[in-house]
Amino acid sequence: MLDLPPDLPDGAVVTAAVSGGADSVALLDLLIRARRWRVWCWHLDHGLRPDSAEDARFVAELAARLGAPCRSARAEVRAALRGDGIEEAARRVRYALLRQAACELGAAAACTAHHRDDQAETALLQILRGCGPEGPAGIAPERPLAPGVRLLRPLLRRRRQELIAHCLRHGLPWREDPSNADLSFARNRLRHRVLPQWEAHCPGIIAALAALAARGGAHRRAAAARAAGVIGADAVAVEALRALDGAARMAAWRELCARLGIEATRGRLRLLEDLLAGSPGRALRLGRWLLRRRGRALTWNALAAPLASGAARAPSPPG
């Protein structure tokens, strides 16, 4: 049931991110049953519910029952809000702390329990938000988490019902997070209202969305490979960008946004395209960064203080 890369060394430390839900409980059990790696269970208490400490206790007891060492962390996610919503703040904090734990444990990989239903939901969200002609990127099956540490999603081809069935078959308990039923979150509305209705009227649409995301992700990774090495430490050659095909140039812009710590929205990508197409001397403000066309190069420097507007043009400098 696990789809893990064949070059993941036997005996390596593998960290499983376990929330206590059925999917992550199944992930932990499957990794342990494989008997190939030294599996660590890792849990994060987001501090978003009064009873969240109970989840941490549950995960620790489950790990002990399955024979895996467990490490837990706690974070005040609300304190990490940057105007991007509680879900994005939780995601950002979660991966930062997972990266830290994996490095401290000497892990070769960290695994999360994202599954095919998650992939379909992500694809639909990206389509609704405007993913552009490249299609939805979805959830990557693998990406770097830290130097020498891979982030793996070995359950992306499995339905959630398969994971629940695994837990039931092996008598594994799990906990339901009540926030997963909160329809004020867009993903929960898709999960509980939209996709079940679509699947009932158009059987196979969840699988089709997941496959669309997988193809889109593969195309983006190929484009990123073509754009590799174009973005420098603090500048990029204009001609090098113009020499890229459209998909590869979008990949280069996304890499630049990631380096600058800003979200690569469609609006920002259009602004970057406009900056590239414009004349030398033009400038663009993105968050706390000022980007300038200087002759044959595009450069960027941090401003003294962040700007309130997420993306706005700066006036062209004189001369």
Domain map (residue ranges) of the chain: 13-115+135-175, 228-314
Average pLDDT, the chain: 89
Is the pLDDT reported for residue 306 higher than 60? Answer: no
Query: What CATH code is assigned to 13-115+135-175?
Result: 3.40.50.620
pLDDT score recorded for residue 79: 65
Is the pLDDT reported for residue 82 higher than 80? Answer: no
Is the pLDDT reported for residue 235 higher than 90? Answer: yes
Is the pLDDT reported for residue 198 higher than 70? Answer: yes
pLDDT score recorded for residue 315: 35
Share of the chain above pLDDT 70, in %: 93
Mean predicted confidence (pLDDT) in 36-59? 90
pLDDT score recorded for residue 273: 94
Is the pLDDT reported for residue 299 higher than 80? Answer: yes
pLDDT class for 316, splitting at 50, 70, 90? very low
pLDDT score recorded for residue 314: 36
pLDDT score recorded for residue 28: 98
How far is 286 from 310, CA to CA, in rounded Å?
A: 6
> Per CATH, is 228-314 categorized as 3.30.460?
no
pLDDT class for 70, splitting at 50, 70, 90? very high
Higher pLDDT, 315 or 274: 274
Is the pLDDT reported for residue 308 higher than 80? Answer: no
Mean predicted confidence (pLDDT) in 157-184? 92
pLDDT score recorded for residue 261: 82
Is the pLDDT reported for residue 29 higher than 50? Answer: yes
pLDDT class for 159, splitting at 50, 70, 90? very high
